[in-house]
Amino acid sequence: MSHTTSGDGPRQSSLQAPLARVRGAGSAKQGTHHWWMQRVSSIALLPLTIWFIVSLATSAGMTHAEAVAWIGQPFNAVLLLALIALTFQHTASGLQVVIEDYTHNEWAKIALLLLNKGVCWLLGIAAALAVLRIAV
Amino acid sequence: MSSMKDSREATMIGRRSDGTQVRRPLSPHLQVYDMLQMSSALSISHRITGSIWAVGTAVMVWWLVAAASGPSAFGAVQWFLGSFLGVLFLMGLTAAAWYHTLAGIRHLVWDAGWGYDIPTMYKTGRAVLIGTAALTALTWLMLLISW
């Protein structure tokens, strides 16, 4: 193949077709989706988490009645549900990357990835159910 | 390239612009970095504090579920969180949470394309450490005043 100096196309010095080059070089299913969702959830979690920490830190030693009243307020319940959903989305995707990077045995990795997803989903559902039971 | 022993090797195969194959290093390569360097130390700390926070989310779930269950279950959480071990755990969690938050903001700033040069990187790194100490102290000041 001759190298062209005119035109906008990239220089190609290999006879291989572009498809043949990338074949077997790994998944191209979702691209940057996972990375991007981590940023999106992190931006949403910034105000939500600071609101939650400040709310709890300024009312330490709440009685049960006070805690139920606070969780039950619609404004707080909505923000809590958002916080729970985003926290476990962000936690699951963050721990997933840590597992992928440091687990070398393929089966152990798959088992840990599934365990991570399962635990995050169950904890998230349990927390959401608790908020809904109090607020609804 | 013969057979792959680790599926991650697939992500390490790249092509130079002239088409020849190159094996790219995997990014969190703990063995090759000097952990006394601020850049590497803060980087791995972001992961560690994120993992600590993941444990902390379980306490949030416990607290919410206990509140929904009733006064006796809620009393048990409040007792644990107010105990010596609980306070120690919460203090560590607060510091880890603030570190992960501030280092996360630093990452978002990098994602926006700013702050990659070494002097700025050291400056923002120090700011994260000082900010973590200050905000952790402030959180506990708020907590102790309201307690």
Q: What is the pLDDT of residues A25-58, one digit of tens each?
A: 666 667 788 899 999 999 999 999 999 999 988 8
* pLDDT (tens digit per residue) in B32-86: 666 678 888 898 899 999 999 999 999 999 999 999 999 999 999 999 999 999 9
| Interface test mutation site (partner B, options A123, A129, A134, max chain B beta carbons within 10 A) | A123
| B57 with A64: Cβ contact below 8 A | no
- pLDDT band, very low/low/confident/very high, at B15 (cuts 50, 70, 90): confident
- Split at pLDDT 50, 70, 90, the class of A4 is very low
Domain extent listing, chain B: 37-146
> Are B47 and A21 in contact (CB < 8 Å)?
no
Q: Is residue A76 scored above 80 in pLDDT?
A: yes
Work out the percent of chain B whose per-residue pLDDT is above 90: 65
pLDDT at B71: 95
What value does the mean pLDDT take over residues A12-24? 74
CATH of domain B37-146: 1.20.1300.10
Minimal Cα distance from A47: which residue of B? Answer: B101
Cross-chain residue pair A129–B71, CB shorter than 8 Å: no
CA distances in angstroms from B89 to A21, A35, B100, B144, listed in the order given = 51, 30, 16, 16
With DSSP H G I counted as helix, E B as strand and the rest as coil, what are the percentages for chain A, rounded to 5?
70, 0, 30
Cα nearest neighbour of B145 on chain A:
A58
Q: What is the ipTM of this complex?
A: 0.79
A62 neighbourhood in chain B, CB within 8 Å: 78
Contact A67 B58 (CB under 8 A): no
B78 min Cα distance to partner chain A (Å): 7
What's the pLDDT score for residue A87? 97
What pTM does this model have?
Answer: 0.80
Residue type, B22: V
Mutation choice for B interface testing from A42, A59, A63, A106 by most B CBs within 10 A:
A42
Residues of B in contact with A50 (CB under 8 A): 101
Annotate B90-111 with b (16+ C-beta within 10 A) or e (fewer).
Answer: beebbbbbbbbbbbbbbeeeee
A8 to chain B, closest Cα gap in Å = 15
In chain A the domains, ranked by start, together with CATH numbers, are: 33-135 (1.20.1300.10)
Q: Does B77 touch chain A (CB under 8 A)?
A: no
Residue with tokens 């998944």: A27
Residue A99 has pLDDT above 70, yes or no: yes
CA dihedral B50, A38, A79, B80 (to 10 degrees): -10
Cβ within 8 Å, pair B50-A53: no
Give the CA dihedral A86, A90, A93, A94, nearest 10 degrees. Answer: -170
Task: Please list every residue in chain A whose beta carbon sits closer than 8 Å to the beta carbon of residue B91.
Answer: none
What letter does residue B7 receive in the DSSP assignment? G
| CB A22, CB A28: distance < 8 Å | yes
pLDDT at A105: 87
Residue A21 confidence (pLDDT): 75
Which chain B residue has its CA at the smallest distance from A36's CA?
B111
* pLDDT of B106 above 70: yes
